[in-house]
Structure 1
Amino acid sequence: MAGSMGFVSGLLRRPTPLVGIDIGSSAVKAVELTAAAGRRIHATAGMRAVPAGSIVKGEIVNRAAVAEAVRGLLGAADIRGRDVALSLPGGAVIAREIAMPRMSRAELAGSIAWEAERHIPFELCDVNLDYQVVDRAGDTERRPPMVVLLVAAKKTTIAEYAAVVTEAGCVPAVVDVAAFALQNACALQGGFERGGVAALLNCGASTINVNIVEAGRSVFTREIAAGGNACTEALRRNGDLSFDEAERVKKGLSSRGAGREDAEPVLREATEHLLLEVEKTFDFFAASRTAGRIDRILLSGGASQGAGFASAMAGRFDVPLERFDPFRKTQVVGRQIGWRDPADVAAAAGVAAGLALRRTGDR
């Protein structure tokens, strides 16, 4: 959960940063950041498809296939680092913001397991716990004495993902949560400098991660168990297409005579179903806080590039919407493997870019 403050100066002193690897249900994304002259940062980014069915609901079913995708991607993109930072799927992670009496760090370390038993719906022996004090100056005037972000990750999932990258010839140095990795990438690019409440959405093939950030800190997270594949499946069913053919139609590359006019109403309906789940999440957040209004949406993830997705979201929510670019202050160099368009790199590589900010020894 470490933040990205001081990263640039740290990177300039550190010649071999961690490689960020984001293992998703449809593709593996990797980013390597290196220092350049004039305090600039260069990024090498790549993506490679994962064979269908290799990862189901965050569980790695075909470890060999996923490991081969990681190995092949690093080679094709000429990413040379092998110490890596990984992200876990949201279903394997529980994050809770809890209130505790103000106490010393030593006292907190001794109390956190007891608090976790009250808030985490897993057996403590089955999870790894992490925590961070997240309250700010002035919080004691309007909130309980101390606010702690408590995170629990399933040990079995950590072991699965670590085993994959190990089989691919890498060393898992840091394991992070996808939502927090994207938040770190956004912070580095100045995404929270305007203050207020920002909803950071990472729209993937099978999930949408929602991380609501206030004053630079996460105050609410949720994983929606649906993503861009819902649109693909709708096209497949309505057009009698294979999954790959439906993907081509979704991306505007018509197949088997299927045209955009036929696809548009199907895509609109499927997209509206996804946005309804996002709206429910926003409503739940608003109901849980006295100041629950979202001021803007930061949109990322490969599925957000789907035809009409961003415009439909902008039309549904009466707040400014921005596409998050993790490389806005970074020069992308090297091989950009797996993307046809630079905009697709920015959309899909946010989590991997955030992971690449991590350092060995981070909590």
Structure 2
Amino acid sequence: MFSWLSRPKGLVGLDIGTSSVKAVQLRRLRKGYQLVALGIAPLHPDTIVDGLIMDADAVSNAVRRMFEENKIDLKDVAVSVSGHSVIVKRIAVPHMKADELRGGIAWEAEQHIPYSVEDVNLDFQILRSGDNGKGEMDVLLVAVKKDIVNQYLAVISAAGLRAAVVDVDAFAMENAFEMFEKVGRDEVVALMNIGAAVTTINVIRGGCSEFTRDSSLAGNRYTESLQKGLGLNYEQAEILKMGGAVQGHDVAEARPVFEMVNGELAGEIRRSFEFYRSSMQGGAIDRVVLSGGGSRLPDLPSHLSHALELPVEIGNPLREITADPRKFDPEYLSFIAPQMAVGVGLALREPEDGA
């Protein structure tokens, strides 16, 4: 997405999340893609906080080990950012060509973001090039604070890699979705990636992103609530959160905690949808597709479906990607796939996307 980086021949999708780092390498075939490598490595809970890398050495070491253990030789990566340092805003600008807009995007950004344009990297995506009836066109303005981007670039460099594309989680998730789902021309789909610290929402209509939002109500809220409600430590709460057994506690005992946080999450999603409909003149949401580690929380899809009165499913970004069963266990791929949505979307990026 952003345009100050080099142009390699191929990319590894590198998803640097709060609880883990993930890598995906694909090979383009005549029809579709083949999985070349896939890896995941955990991070300590305090390594990345609110999108800020607190322990750069821990992240770069985890990335380096992950590449070595999974025999990933390619050094050029596509990475993405999310959270409060990222602003994605739909704006209306006078109708013009993309090259003209690129020359004036800094002036447009000054009217819409709370930061100095000197402190951010800017990009944009034209939603619809046609006139909206007012001599204007709709554009998604993207601004990411330079200090956050520089943190990620430094970690990647320390791991012996090169960043060729810097993207935004919401768009990487959308890129993966386009690989495994068919969307109707007027269908409105809400993509939701539930990570440890951030839930990313991207509402797309007819294959075009119309609204994005990052919320801090995510997987960690469940962990913290289980710790507080049942007197567990972090490791015990994480096990119970994902449906495992902890001595002296079971999933049935945790159910009231799940229901409480599920209700909070449903309320947060509902408010986002209402904002989309009211301020963006958006249509009704037709369905929700979940991804991220949080999508596997016990009974979450059914709870959200009931609360939102919408079909809710867990997406599989690896579904249309071929994989050698001698190298990749099909059951493991099916299990891990929802967590790899951002990584897959990044791996699908072309080198020229960073140019």
Q: Same fold (TM over 0.5)?
A: yes
Aligned-pair distance for 1:280? 1.1
Give yes or no for the alignment of 1:305 onto 2:319: no
> Aligned partners of 1:325, 1:276: CA distance in 2, in Å?
25
> Aligned partners of 1:286, 1:105: CA distance in 2, in Å?
27
Distance 1:170 1:140, change over 3 A: same
Give yes or no for the alignment of 1:17 onto 2:20: no
> Aligned partners of 1:328, 1:358: CA distance in 2, in Å?
18
The aligned runs of 1:334-353 (5 Å cut-off) are 341-353=332-344
Give yes or no for the alignment of 1:39 onto 2:28: no
- Kindly provide the amino acid, as one letter, of the partner of residue 81 in structure 2: L
Q: Percent same amino acid at aligned positions?
A: 38
Q: Between 84-93 and 155-164, report the one with greater CA deviation.
A: 84-93
CA contact (8 A) 2:9 2:351 kept: no
- Kindly provide the amino acid, as one letter, of the partner of residue 39 in structure 2: G
1:279 counterpart residue number: 270
1:124 counterpart residue number: 117
Aligned-pair distance for 1:108? 2.1
Aligned-pair distance for 1:106? 4.1
CA contact (8 A) 1:23 1:87 kept: yes
SS in 1 for 2:345: helix
1:215 counterpart residue number: 206
CA contact (8 A) 2:196 2:293 kept: yes
What TM-score does the superposition give when structure 1 sets the normalisation length? 0.90
Distance 1:117 1:131, change over 3 A: same
Give yes or no for the alignment of 1:78 onto 2:88: no
Give yes or no for the alignment of 1:233 onto 2:224: yes
- Kindly provide the amino acid, as one letter, of the partner of residue 248 in structure 2: G
Aligned-pair distance for 1:340? 7.8
CA contact (8 A) 2:203 2:210 kept: yes
> Aligned partners of 1:213, 1:104: CA distance in 2, in Å?
23
Aligned-pair distance for 1:185? 1.0
Give yes or no for the alignment of 1:315 onto 2:303: no
SS in 1 for 2:171: helix
Aligned-pair distance for 1:321? 1.8
2:127 counterpart residue number: 134
Distance 1:354 1:245, change over 3 A: same
Distance 1:16 1:117, change over 3 A: closer
SS in 2 for 1:349: helix
The aligned runs of 1:82-231 (5 Å cut-off) are 82-136=75-129, 139-140=130-131, 142=133, 144-193=135-184, 195-231=186-222
SS in 2 for 1:119: coil
CA contact (8 A) 1:78 1:335 kept: no
> Aligned partners of 1:272, 1:144: CA distance in 2, in Å?
43
Q: Which runs of 5+ in 1 are unaligned?
A: 3-13
Distance 1:85 1:15, change over 3 A: closer
SS in 1 for 2:84: helix
The aligned runs of 1:42-57 (5 Å cut-off) are 42-43=34-35, 44-57=37-50
SS in 1 for 2:78: strand
Q: Between 50-59 and 184-193, report the one with greater CA deviation.
A: 184-193
CA contact (8 A) 2:302 2:312 kept: no
Please tell me the root mean square deviation across aligned C-alpha atoms, in Å. 2.3
SS in 1 for 2:90: strand
CA contact (8 A) 1:301 1:347 kept: yes
Aligned-pair distance for 1:145? 2.7
CA contact (8 A) 2:50 2:83 kept: no
CA contact (8 A) 1:100 1:145 kept: yes
> Aligned partners of 1:239, 1:317: CA distance in 2, in Å?
28
CA contact (8 A) 1:45 1:345 kept: no
Aligned-pair distance for 1:15? 11
Instruction: Write the deviation string for residues 64-112 of structure 1: whole angstroms up to 9, x where unpaired.
Output: 0011111111122222211000001232211122112222344323322
> Aligned partners of 2:115, 2:182: CA distance in 1, in Å?
34
SS in 1 for 2:353: coil
> Aligned partners of 2:331, 2:158: CA distance in 1, in Å?
29
Aligned-pair distance for 1:187? 1.3
Residue-pair matches, total: 348
CA contact (8 A) 1:206 1:226 kept: yes
> Aligned partners of 2:264, 2:10: CA distance in 1, in Å?
40
Give yes or no for the alignment of 1:329 onto 2:320: yes
Q: Which runs of 5+ in 2 are unaligned?
A: none
CA contact (8 A) 1:99 1:144 kept: no
- Kindly provide the amino acid, as one letter, of the partner of residue 251 in structure 2: R
1:251 counterpart residue number: 242
What TM-score does the superposition give when structure 2 sets the normalisation length? 0.91
> Aligned partners of 1:255, 1:362: CA distance in 2, in Å?
46
Distance 1:335 1:55, change over 3 A: farther
Aligned-pair distance for 1:143? 6.2
